[in-house]
Structure 1
Amino acid sequence: MSAPSKPATPGTEPDRLPRVLRALAVVERLGNALPHPFWLFWILAAILGVTSAGLAAAGVSVVSPADGETVVVQNLLSGAGLAMAVSTAVDNFATFGPMGTIVVVIMGVAIAERTGFLSAAMKVSVSRVPVGWVVFAVAFAGTVSHVASAAAYIILVPLGGLAFRAVGKSPILGVVVAYTSIASGYDASPVPTPNDAIFAGITTEAARIIDPNAYVSPVSNWYFNIGSSLLLAIVITLVTNLVLAKRPDLDADPDADLDDVAGLELSPRDRKALRAALLSGLAAIVLIAVVVLLPSSPLRGEGGSLTESPFLDGIAAIVAVLFALVGIVYGWRSGEITTAGDVPKLMAEGVRQMAPVLVLFFAIAQFLAYFDWTHIGDVIAVNSAEALETSGVPIWAVFLAILALLSVVNVLVTSGSAMWAIAAPVVVPMLMLLDVPAETTQALFRIADSGSTAITPMSPYFIMALGFLQRYRKDAGIGTLASYTLPLAVCMTLAWTALFFAWWALGIPLGPGAPVR
């Protein structure tokens, strides 16, 4: 599914976007020059070592706002630094915040995905909807599909083309809407996802530079995510109907091998399995709600608190169990699970799928531990916060600057966990010193990590989406797909940013126990 040498035939829409094509070519060259994220973090660790040696030799220090003690930069290249790196390597990895959480969540999600429950749920969500609602249905399904992580692209993008074709709309537009809703809305989901666990763990590690007792829950942005997913689905619907639907190049090739629309239909057995799974999931949610809402519930915290409680501390395990439950019920009723032994096999397959991420986590965990040990983060955070305070720069301008910078970085570094691991140790403590909660900084990062994803050819899923697009239009190239996704991505980012500032201005909590300011 590689792109043809020419992005489009002469006279097509992409030919009228030479600047976009040149910019994409530059992005592709720069991105290809970057090393794999695993090696990128070791390179950053080496740069950190040299920097720490220079700052330590200069006697750079700062007064910690947490306890008033003087914090001195430590030399990572010293004997003490070497001893620290060697003696803590295993612990750094084993105690890395997202590690346990993401493995637990993935084991549950894997059952739901590999039995076919998630695929069936997506098919139902985009089929049998009125013509006027199909764009919104596909777009909103894209935000919900993030529970399946990368599998969302494989499942929903071709389904988007089928759903649009089924109601007489362009399948090209269906592919574009499905892909963009997943890519540029990747961190907005009404359902807690594995990414929530990863980001919360990294944010917690960064926040502890300032507050050793800091903790950011995987659902700390849940309310904001729900609002974001609805807003983005509406924006996609409006831009698609008012702008993209008026393009003259939406017809599939006359000789295109069109997929069978019947692929959206579920068999009677699968429909019954899906109904049973959804009912079991709903019953479990009701049961959990009843237990949690009891005044004397053991899942409540001290004084009956819900914001600091065993329930929120174990939310990742609860989400995993819910996905496992619906997956098991669906698999049993559909015939995908025939013996009890099938369940741990599916869980193991999910963990194996996460192996590349776990390898990356090893490098990230070491880098964050080195960064914390050198105290360079303290120096940058305190000095940057003091400079911003004395300069009188309004906090909204700081937010915009961070958002713009991270959005540009996201074009080249498409791994959200990798980018956040680099940025969080600097921006989270800095903004905490300006009285901005870590959860708020994480919400801001979500926008930057998502908005530009749909337009960067550095994302492997961009090329995959291009392959699906080429089923309907063989001469489509990188510029073709970018010209479709660019209006959507820009409008989604602008609307999402406006929502963030409205949320901030109104002081609405971002999630359970997570005030926005």
Structure 2
Amino acid sequence: MSQPSPDTAAPRGAIARFLDTVERVGNKLPDPAMLFLLLMLAVWLLSWALSGVDFQAIDPRTGTPIQVVNQLSGESLTAFMANMVRVFLGFAPLGVVLVAMLGLGVAEHTGFINAALRRVLSVTPKQLLTPALVAVAVLSHVAVDAGYVLVIPLGGVIFYAAGRHPLAGIAAAFCGVSGGFSATLLVPSSLDPLLASFTQEAAQILDPALIVNPLNNWIFTSASSLLIIAIGWFVTDRIVEPRLQRTPVDGDPANLPKMDDLSAAEKRGLLWAVIAMLVAAGLFALTLMPETSPWRAPADVVPDGSHPLLVAAAPVMQSIVALIFVLFLLPGVVYGYIAGTVKTHRDIIAAMTRSMSGMGYYIVIAFFIAQFLAGFNGSGLGTLMAVEGADFLKGLGLPMWLTIIGLILMTGIVNLFIGSASAKWALLAPIMVPLMMQLGVSPDLTQAAYRVGDSMTTILTPLMPYFPLIVVFCQRYVTSAGIGTLVSIMIPYSIGLSILWTLFLLAFWGLGIPLGVGASYIYPAG
């Protein structure tokens, strides 16, 4: 696939005007930190207004009517003040970002990442950069959220170094990491057994003997990765990047990577850094092999059909961020000493410090995101939205294929407000799985529909915890970039994913292709 010429392929007409309007309106939104503060206040006011209403909707997890909790009551406000620090420190994405960026910061500031990318790009055709980047982004799901802090910023670096628009690289990587979050490139991720556990628990509400295989969607999600790569490739090269040709890159040139030929010192440093990384990875792999490896999950918590290294409880899966820190810190240090960019240990600490100084804005935003999510979750509004939406879907009495589409769309809407895949499924599964079982749809198909809906709108919502971080990545290259810029760039991806991925699932269903290991389409299976 060749890159369109910017002077002939730049999109015109209604679509271009619509995206430009989205960008202008979105950039007029308040600063992300203030936006989350305003949203938190809106949640408080709405919870106060609805706290006295008796809802008929039943929370399937407790069997009691849903009650909205007034976040403006004296008890809630004092709890908010008392828990403010704990809520901030317990905001999981913050730790993931900061710890990973410590190691990545050293690898970046010593020049290792830049040198490695320049070497790879010197032998990689520009036409293949996009699909390769999206494929790596999809593969990063094995490491759960690591793609957000590792692959997405590298997407901008790779495209910029190759003479392409860096925001297109960030967008392509964002499409693979977040838009294709439920896809898995052959290797199962920890998300598979995690979601299956919620599905099984929900299914056993109606059928206590039903067992859900942790790899019940593995074939579908693996095949989906090819679809995600194709969508990301086409949208990036044919729609997004041509439009971005009108957006100048005005970031500080001193802080942006270059694509010069490697010097002799850089080549030596890169060689030894890669050797150090491979040796470390090899030694680590050896520690995974023994049946008694401490990296494996205990046998009593490993579901049937799952590998003890791939379940969420496995220490290796819980150590992904720490492993990223070490596996980038080590080659970064080796490269720095060999290439001469590092003289003493003080230079290493200075590199970490510079990396953290660049994260100051995200830390501020993270504080307000954490407080907003705490209030939203504590109010019960999310549960009310999910249950009422499911009841509405059931009442429509649609054909089954339309019901599946409705489930996907409802998940996509809820996804705009609740970013965590496991949190949403923990909420929706007890509602949707028994409902669909009563309609003759297997828990495996319901879960697959959820996974499609869970991915297609994540790239559009500023409420997704990593969204502000990606805006920061964009601002490195285009200083005027804001929420509207990123949303307008990602809309074509979301449209493509919503339509084509939904059709892809329906095609799987229509052709009877197995969704995964031990999976079925109908309930009861027969």
TM-score by length of 1: 0.65
Offset of 1:301 from its aligned partner?
1.8
Partner of 2:285: 289
Mapped to 2, the partners of 1:501 and 1:264 lie a distance apart of 48
Secondary structure of 1:72's match? coil
Mapped to 2, the partners of 1:493 and 1:64 lie a distance apart of 29
Residues 1:310 and 2:315 are matched in the alignment: yes
Residue identity matched to 1:429: L
CA contact (8 A) 2:112 2:331 kept: yes
Partner of 2:213: none
Secondary structure of 1:337's match? coil
Q: 1:357 to 1:157 in 2, by over 3 A?
A: same
Residue identity matched to 1:54: A
Question: Percent of counterpart pairs with the same letter?
Answer: 24
Mapped to 2, the partners of 1:222 and 1:278 lie a distance apart of 32
Give a deviation string over 1:95-145, Cα, whole Å, max 9, x none.
12222222211111111121122212221222124xxx4311454246648
Instruction: List runs of 5+ in structure 2 lacking aligned partners.
Output: 1-5, 138-146, 182-190, 203-216, 246-257, 303-307, 434-442, 463-469, 518-526
Residue identity matched to 1:112: A
Partner of 2:384: 379
Q: 1:348 to 1:320 in 2, by over 3 A?
A: same
Q: 1:381 to 1:487 in 2, by over 3 A?
A: closer
Pick the aligned partner of 1:398 from 388, 397, 406: 406
Mapped to 2, the partners of 1:113 and 1:500 lie a distance apart of 40
Mapped to 1, the partners of 2:159 and 2:151 lie a distance apart of 13
Partner of 1:159: 161
Offset of 1:363 from its aligned partner?
0.8
CA contact (8 A) 1:111 1:343 kept: yes
Offset of 1:383 from its aligned partner?
2.8
Partner of 2:369: 364
Give a deviation string over 1:468-499, Cα, whole Å, max 9, x none.
xxxxxxxxxx99xx99x998886677666666
Mapped to 1, the partners of 2:491 and 2:43 lie a distance apart of 36
Offset of 1:155 from its aligned partner?
2.4
Aligned residues: 421
Offset of 1:75 from its aligned partner?
1.0
CA contact (8 A) 2:151 2:173 kept: no
Q: 1:222 to 1:66 in 2, by over 3 A?
A: same
Residue identity matched to 1:386: D
Residue identity matched to 2:263: S
Residues 1:448 and 2:453 are matched in the alignment: no
Pick the aligned partner of 2:334 from 329, 333, 338: 329
Mapped to 1, the partners of 2:336 and 2:383 lie a distance apart of 50
Partner of 1:77: 72
Mapped to 2, the partners of 1:341 and 1:127 lie a distance apart of 32
Mapped to 1, the partners of 2:162 and 2:331 lie a distance apart of 24
Instruction: List runs of 5+ in structure 1 lacking aligned partners.
Output: 1-8, 162-170, 191-199, 212-220, 251-261, 410-418, 468-477, 510-517
CA contact (8 A) 1:236 1:492 kept: no
Offset of 1:386 from its aligned partner?
3.4
Residue identity matched to 2:114: S
Mapped to 2, the partners of 1:498 and 1:28 lie a distance apart of 29
Mapped to 2, the partners of 1:222 and 1:125 lie a distance apart of 31
Secondary structure of 2:280's match? helix
Residue identity matched to 1:448: T
Pick the aligned partner of 1:181 from 169, 172, 176: 172
CA contact (8 A) 1:444 1:500 kept: no
CA contact (8 A) 1:59 1:72 kept: yes
CA contact (8 A) 1:125 1:137 kept: no
Offset of 1:327 from its aligned partner?
1.4
CA contact (8 A) 2:297 2:315 kept: yes
CA contact (8 A) 1:153 1:461 kept: no
Residue identity matched to 1:398: G
Q: 1:18 to 1:387 in 2, by over 3 A?
A: closer
Offset of 1:352 from its aligned partner?
2.0
Q: 1:69 to 1:178 in 2, by over 3 A?
A: closer
Partner of 2:127: 135
Offset of 1:380 from its aligned partner?
2.1
CA contact (8 A) 2:156 2:169 kept: no
CA contact (8 A) 1:328 1:343 kept: yes
Offset of 1:365 from its aligned partner?
1.0
Q: 1:234 to 1:60 in 2, by over 3 A?
A: closer
Pick the aligned partner of 1:67 from 47, 62, 84: 62
Partner of 1:475: none
CA contact (8 A) 2:296 2:315 kept: yes
Residue identity matched to 2:126: V
Task: Give the superposed CA RMSD.
Answer: 4.8
Partner of 1:274: 270
Mapped to 2, the partners of 1:499 and 1:234 lie a distance apart of 13
Offset of 1:442 from its aligned partner?
6.8
Offset of 1:227 from its aligned partner?
7.2
Partner of 2:467: none
Q: 1:346 to 1:441 in 2, by over 3 A?
A: farther
Offset of 1:425 from its aligned partner?
6.8
Mapped to 2, the partners of 1:270 and 1:189 lie a distance apart of 35
Residues 1:95 and 2:100 are matched in the alignment: no
Partner of 1:507: 515
Residues 1:342 and 2:347 are matched in the alignment: yes
CA contact (8 A) 1:52 1:374 kept: yes
Offset of 1:460 from its aligned partner?
7.8
Residue identity matched to 2:127: V
Offset of 1:86 from its aligned partner?
1.2
Pick the aligned partner of 1:52 from 5, 25, 47: 47
Mapped to 1, the partners of 2:236 and 2:23 lie a distance apart of 27
Q: 1:268 to 1:452 in 2, by over 3 A?
A: farther
Residue identity matched to 2:428: M
TM-score by length of 2: 0.64
Offset of 1:356 from its aligned partner?
1.3
Secondary structure of 2:333's match? helix
Offset of 1:382 from its aligned partner?
2.5
